Amino acid sequence: MRPTTKSFSQLVYDLTKQIPKGKVTTYGILARRLGRPKAGRAVGRILGANPHPIVVPCHRVVKSDGTLGGYSGRGGIRTKFELLGHEGVEIRNDRVDLSKFLFKDFKAKP
């Protein structure tokens, strides 16, 4: 029996599930971690189509400058802001302080 190969989308979702509450990562870090360093925008599109926005915590993924980016869940960017705040992530001047809240200690590629 052949092993099943996960789609790039599923790999993005699996990696995103590793981000703990109170932390964020960036679209670019996810892309690099998956071996596709120029695929940050593709990661963003995939997370924008996330069918399970709390199970796959796409609200914990931000732009490389710490700005929130988008959120396709109910309530849009305001909900992303509220979810991150509820988890203890501070947002000042529409940015997350990546020196304080950045997560990049992912387990092996999913």
pTM, rounded to two decimals: 0.92
From the list 43, 58, 83, 98, the catalytic residue is 58
Neighbours of 24 (CB within 10 A): 25
Domain 8-101 has CATH 1.10.10.10: yes
pLDDT value of residue 109: 63
For the chain, domain boundaries = 8-101
pLDDT digits (tens), the chain, 110 positions: 556 678 999 999 999 999 999 999 999 999 999 999 999 999 999 999 999 988 999 999 999 999 999 998 889 999 999 999 999 999 999 999 999 999 999 997 66
77 is catalytic: no
By CB neighbour count within 10 A (0-12 exposed, 13-18 middle, 19+ buried), where does 36 fall?
middle
Task: Output the pLDDT for position 1.
Answer: 59
Q: CA-CA distance, 17 to 91, in Å (whole number)?
A: 21
